Amino acid sequence: MNRIKQAFKDRLWLGVIIVGLFAGLIGGGIALGINNLVQHHEEVTSTRVPAGSNKSGGTKVNKNKVDLNGEASQAYKSVQGAVVSVINKQKVQQSSGTLGIFGYGNSSNGSSSSDSSSDNKLETASEGSGVIYKKSGNSAYVVTNNHVVKGSNALQVILSNGKKVNADLVGADYATDLAVLKINAANVKTVASFGNSNSIVPGQDVLAIGSPMGSEYANTVTKGIISAKDRTLKAGTDGTLTSVIQTDTAINSGNSGGPLINMAGQVIGINSMKLASDTQGSSVEGIGFAIPSNEVVTIINQLIKNGKITRPSLGISMVDLSNVTSDQQQSVLKLPTSVSKGVVIMDVNSGSVADTAGLKKYDVITKLGDTQVTDAGSLKAALYKYKVGQNAKVTYYRDGQQHTATLHLTKSADTTSTDDSQQDNN
């Protein structure tokens, strides 16, 4: 009897448990279903485009909370009026008369016509930038890059107010890529001043002002920093190495000759070039270069005084040792294997500084003064540190033996034109 009662109780509890579980599942399912329905309703409601009027969708322009007369803006305003566009005008050969398909004039009797005549017309060859740095009486002076004015038959300057005036070339120097122009000062209201480029530091804020891509974008300002104070590059068109300022400020075609200024509005450099790709052809951004203001002032003053830059000249033609094969370095030049850099003298002008010092063809120059010579550019950079009339010690190899000689730098060469031959001359 007791066993029957115990079995009945067990079955009763089992039923309760089953009913509880079943009820829980049903209740949970209902709750989950209700929750899903609520979530679905909320999702539909929150994503549906509301109906009704759109009158409440208007807005307004609020007062700027930023300082519109910040340091950069003030610096730009102080020098913007002195920045100009420089227009390089060159002659374009035009021919009048009718030419046949083979270049002969057509005539009724089929004979060649000699009625063709040529006419030279000035057209814009290139555009760049410049900055007015001085106003004296009726004249104002502009500094720009030599490559901006190179090959010009006429020059024009567009002032910051848009007025176009003619310009004369006072002088140019291809070694530093600088040139000075002279314009009428009647419409000049602002001139720029030069700061000390020796006092700049990496990380310092700077602005570049000019006409990127031409005068259509005149007075464009871009901001960046000084990336490096002293980089050695070939700034001129003759391969001479010179020290330049590196900046990440945007510099594009047409910015050449424009100023790089500090936050006080002082010109600390003249923008000259940018690095667009590396030796492997990979494009790069944010690497531009400017000629330091201290160098600019030195060149300007010499160009104003003499119309050209006079530097020492050795009176030789040369090639880089790196362009000579290893076999020829051994068999012809008889160089020791320890000598791998320098310049090879290919010709010595009679009566020149090099000739007087006893230098000869196939001598290999490896040092000038205290500067190691690695190529023609480094030799010119070292030589141009001297003035005409000074002496310089040269180290060279001849027939495998090292020699030294004293150069009496009595000869000079003006750097107002370039030599396009394969050999470097100096």
Residue 164: CB partners within 8 Å, gap ≥ 6?
A: 87, 156, 157, 158
256 included as an active-site residue? yes
Residue 61: CB partners within 8 Å, gap ≥ 6?
A: none
Q: Give how far Cα 248 sits from Cα of 208, 258, 276, 286, 289, Å.
A: 10, 15, 12, 4, 9
The closest of 356, 329, 416, 343 to 383, measured between CA atoms, is 343
Q: Which of 147, 197, 215, 363 is catalytic?
A: 147
The closest of 232, 273, 215 to 249, measured between CA atoms, is 273
Beta pairing partners, 245: 290
Contact call for residues 410 and 353 (beta carbons, < 8 A): yes
Beta carbons within 10 angstroms of residue 91's beta carbon = 15
Return the HEC string of 23-51. HHHHHHHHHHHHHHHHHHHHHHHHHCCCC
Q: Which of 126, 160, 227, 256 is catalytic?
A: 256
Q: How far is CA 77 from the centre of its chain?
A: 23
Vertex 345: Cα angle to 339 and 349 (nearest 5): 160
Q: Which of 173, 177, 363, 375 is catalytic?
A: 177
Contact call for residues 208 and 289 (beta carbons, < 8 A): no
147 included as an active-site residue? yes
Q: Please give the positions annotated as active site.
A: 147, 177, 256
